[in-house]
Amino acid sequence: MEAKPKTIQVPPNCDLTLGLVCVEKAEQGRTKWKMFADERFCNPAGIIQGGFLAALADSAMGATSVTWAKGKKVYSSNVEFKISFFRPVMPGIDLYCTAQVISGGRRCAFIEASITDSKDTLFAKASSTFLYTPR
């Protein structure tokens, strides 16, 4: 039995579930995303659970890595990820995640992301390395 060619779903279900929207992508190697901090994403203490912030950063950095690939058909795989949280996120606000390639080449890219609100209050920073594999 022959394998079917793999298709890429854009936007992916994870972005749809979290309500992630790309609001800027004109510059190669840089994107900006928006996510509403919905109370469904709160932990028992009533603040947004860090894993949802990590998912926002991961999606933003993944999309940014694809813009860095300069139109080549590649799979972009996250090979390491780190996030630091600076203050709690209360539900009911819009969050913005700006991701930018810091260094990159033909096979990989190192990307950083910042998560802020509309007043540029910094809530978290993340970094990741993405590996490119031809599609």
The whole model's pTM is what? 0.91
Residue 14 has pLDDT above 90, yes or no: no
Residues 92, 99: Cα–Cα separation, whole Å = 22
Contacts 24+ apart (CB under 8 A), 116-122: 117/93, 118/93, 118/94, 121/87, 122/86, 122/87
* Residue 52 one-letter amino acid: F
pLDDT tens readout for residues 65-106: 999 988 788 999 999 999 999 999 999 999 999 999 999 998
Nearest to residue 30, comparing CAs of 39, 38, 22? 22
Domain covering 13-134: architecture: Roll (3.10)
